[in-house]
Structure 1
Amino acid sequence: MKDPRKIEEILNKPIYFDIDKALKRGWELFKAEPAILVIYTILVVGLSGGVSFLFEDFSTIFSLLVGPALTAGYYLLGNRISRDDNIEFSDSFEGFKFWFPVVVVSLITGLFTIVGLIFLILPGIYLGVAYSFAMPLVIFGGFEFWTAMELSRKLITKIWWRFFLFLLLLLVINLVGALFLLVGLLITIPASYMMVYAAFEDLSGDLLDEDTSGDSPIFTHESES
């Protein structure tokens, strides 16, 4: 893990976010493994819908305790695809290896965002966007939740309006997907996650060590793979 002082030096450097590059790179990642990503999305949507329909009282618990690990699965698949690894469908569930940290960071970022929305709305919108990389930083950087949240906030704040526009474009993409009898969402949802991962990979720069050991995946930038 990087020295905190080195991280501050990196964050003080100018950052440019190329929206078009993130969209194209994310689409390339999706096209590399469309079958696995679509099937995984069917599973995720099916589980969420099934729990909500059959066990309505437990749907919130499912979203809070299982949803983050399922979301982490998308980022881990994106990382594997970016590294040109051989991928099997079982790899989709590697997010559960990071169950506790991703649940914690998801709960805390969600709580902060909701509180911001309740009180003044704008702070909630700001935090909702700024914490977009908190989970990937937990997964790939091995940071504890607060450090990951602050690194994400400081990084995205430097290009907040561009990143907000990027997320709005992803929202539009998914709305278009929903118009096609919701079937289009099976493509736009995983493609959107790949695009967010591509943006994370591009913007994270030297925040992450490439020699990550243990169970954490090795993080390799596109330009270095």
Structure 2
Amino acid sequence: MEKKNIEKLLERGYDFDIRAAFEKAFEMFSQNAINCVAYSMLILSVQLLVATYVPELTLVYSIFLFPALVGGFFLVANKISQGDAIVYPDFFKGFQYYIVLILINLVGQVLVALGIMALIVPGVYLMVGYMFSFLFAIFAGTDFWQSLELSRKVVHKRWGKFFILFLLLLVLNILAALPALLGLLVSLPVSAFVIYNVFETVTEGAYEEEE
């Protein structure tokens, strides 16, 4: 995937099916449920340990560790989509993109926070707009700023629909967290798979043009 192909994709426009993205995500999860749950349990366990015993490092965890862990879900989703077999170590390959994911997360959070402090709406706009930033860094090889901007530009074309998707994922994870956080073992990977599926649909034209 090249940046010039994405620009052409933006000129043409695109669409995606939210329901289809969720259905495919649950199917992907069901095919690899044990590994997905085990990895989600690891993420939640580390987060709870940090929050309980060293709460002052919670922000450090969210900035310097969580991005690479989330990136692992996207890489696994890609392998599943390609029909490749999944093994547990595949989830940790997000650390291959460690620096760029940290920069995306850090800069993105700062910009979102500034937007919320300003008028709230700009912060919400950016929060939704940066939904694909990790995926562009991983699958298009863009740097942190290019990833943020490409994500914002792509999402901007159908921002209203992405906002609906964002709200659905937010509600899903809030409801999943209610029964002692256990539902998050499913909702975390499913949410990542949903975002990947939409990304794959939206950027399909970019891959086609590259060929």
Corresponding position of 1:158 = 157
Judge conservation of contact 1:113–1:123 (CA < 8 Å) in 2.
yes
Q: Distance in 1 between matches of 2:164 and 2:17?
A: 11
Indicate the percent of aligned positions where both proteins have the same amino acid: 34
Measured in 2, the distance between the counterparts of 1:150 and 1:209 equals 22
Question: What TM-score do the two structures reach when normalised by structure 1?
Answer: 0.88
Q: Which residue identity lines up with residue 117 of structure 2 in the other structure?
A: I
Structure-2-length-normalised TM-score: 0.93
Please say if residues 74 and 190 of structure 1, whose CA atoms lie closer than 8 Å, have aligned partners that are also in contact.
yes
What CA deviation, in whole Å up to 9, does each residue of 1:113-143 have, x standing for no partner? 1110010100000000011001110011101
Counterpart for residue 2 of structure 1: 2
Structure number with the higher helix fraction is 2
SS where residue 87 of structure 1 aligns? coil
Aligned to 2:201: 202
Amino acid in the other structure paired with 1:21 = A
| 8 Å CA contact retained: 2:6, 2:203 | no
Instruction: Give the match's secondary structure for 1:50.
Output: helix
Structure 2 alignment gaps of length 5 or more: none
C-alpha contact 2:104 2:144 (8 A) present in aligned 1: yes
Deviation of the 1:182 alpha carbon: 2.4
Show the counterpart of 1:215: none
Quote the Cα distance in structure 2 between the aligned partners of 1:68 and 1:151: 18
Shift of residue 32, structure 1, vs aligned partner: 1.4
Which one-letter code corresponds to 2:148 in the other structure? Answer: M
Tell me the CA shift for residue 175 of structure 1.
2.4
2:187 corresponds in structure 1 to 188
Letter matched to residue 2 of structure 1: E
**Aligned length in residues:** 210
1:83-131 deviations in Å (ceiling 9; x for gaps)? 1212111111101111001111111111111110010100000000011
The offset of 1:163, in angstroms, is 0.9
Preserved CA contact (<8 Å) 1:141 1:208: no
Cα RMSD of the aligned pairs, angstroms, is: 1.7
Alignment-derived partner of residue 214 in structure 1? none
- Write the distance in 2 (CA, Å) between the matches of 1:81 and 1:174: 22
* Pairwise CA distance, 1:9: 1.9
2:9–2:203 contact (8 Å) kept in structure 1: no
- 2:45 corresponds to 1:46: yes
By how many angstroms is 1:3 displaced? 5.3
Unaligned 5+ segments in structure 1 are: 212-225
- Partners in 2 of 1:7 and 1:177 — Cα distance? 35
Distance 2:135 2:65 in 1: 16
Partner of 1:109: 108
Give the Cα separation in 2 of the matches to 1:138 and 1:147: 8
The aligned amino acid for 2:186 is I
Q: Which residue of 1 aligns with 2:19?
A: 20
Corresponding residue of 2:58: 59
Q: Would you say 1:134 and 2:137 are equivalent positions? A: no
Kept in 2, the 8 Å contact 1:130–1:156? The answer is yes
